Amino acid sequence: MNFLPETDRRRRIYLMRHAHVDYFDPKLAERGGAPAVRLTPLGIEQAEASRDALAEIPFQRAICSGLPRTRQTAKIVLGGLAEPPELEEDRDFREIEAGSTTIQSQSREELARRMHDEFHQANEPGRRMMETGERFEDAYLRSTRGLERVLAEPGWHTLLLVAHEGINRLMLGWATGGGLAAVHAFEQDLACINVLDFDMKLDASGTIFPDIEHVMVKCINVTPYNVTKHGMNMTSLETIFAKV
């Protein structure tokens, strides 16, 4: 079945952010730096909470960015399914590259503040993440085009996509019509779940066009381990760079 039950052209994506990691792990450099970071014990607990919340969802496909933190989060979530799909990797959903500015060269507080400010300026023409990193407009194009490509592929109606805070913000800006000007507003807490529905355009034979007719946001930034957000007073960036 290509479409959600009781609909004639609708598909659903459960868009997640990876769970908690520690970018200041003293052993991280020898493991390959920030791209190689893995979930902490807290992150495993967060992913397990999302696993339990999604245990009844009939995923036909599952995609992660290919980085260890998204792969590990996705595998934990899929571990709650009776018949999990094979986990795919798609580089279009890798995090926005931060360039030569290394995490280890800055304090936790400074890094959280600077990255928070970057998202507020993402709509400026040519703006890059952390001076020498990837241009926001380039990351926006690769992630949204990747999303459109996946939506045009046959054989599924419900998909798990585990990516990153920055890239999720870009896709949510696109989905809501706000583009880069809106990305600063979309908080993405660790191991959060967003649910997006897409009505696809069809031709006379029922074949999917590579076009989307409607986008509907069912929910944003749901954290099964703390649904009401009580006590979660820091931004997600402040949280991930805080000492556990």
Q: Is residue 176 part of a domain?
A: yes
Residue 33's φ and ψ, nearest 5 degrees, are: 80, -165
**236 within 8 A of 188, measured Cβ to Cβ:** yes
pTM confidence score: 0.93
CA angle 98, 49, 189 (to 5 degrees): 30
Q: Is residue 1 part of a domain?
A: no
**pLDDT for the residue 32:** 66
The 10s digit of each residue's pLDDT in 132-164 is 899 999 999 999 999 999 999 989 999 999 999
Instruction: Report the alpha-carbon distance of residue 26 to residue 94 in Å, rounded.
Output: 24
What SS3 class is residue 69? helix
Q: Is residue 5 part of a domain?
A: no
**pLDDT for the residue 114:** 85
Q: Is residue 140 part of a domain?
A: yes
Helix (H) or strand (E) holding 17: strand 10-17
Q: Give Cα separations from 134 to 96, 128, 144 (angstroms).
A: 6, 5, 15
Structure tokens that stand for 232 in this block: 């979660």
Name residues whose C-beta falls within 8 Å of residue 241's C-beta, 6 or more positions apart in sequence: 23, 24, 108, 109, 111, 112
**pLDDT for the residue 141:** 98
Q: Is residue 19 part of a domain?
A: yes
Instruction: Report the alpha-carbon distance of residue 17 to residue 162 in Å, rounded.
Output: 6
Q: Is residue 36 part of a domain?
A: yes
Instruction: Report the alpha-carbon distance of residue 61 to residue 71 in Å, rounded.
Output: 14
CA angle 151, 153, 159 (to 5 degrees): 55
Give the domain extent around 95: 10-240
Could you tell me the CATH number of the domain that includes residue 168?
A: 3.40.50.1240
Low-confidence ranges of the chain (pLDDT < 50): none
**pLDDT for the residue 210:** 64
Instruction: Report the alpha-carbon distance of residue 198 to residue 11 in Å, rounded.
Output: 5
Instruction: Report the alpha-carbon distance of residue 171 to residue 178 in Å, rounded.
Output: 10
The 10s digit of each residue's pLDDT in 38-55 is 999 999 999 999 999 999
How many domains does the chain divide into?
1
**pLDDT for the residue 103:** 55
Q: Is residue 2 part of a domain?
A: no
Q: Is residue 126 part of a domain?
A: yes
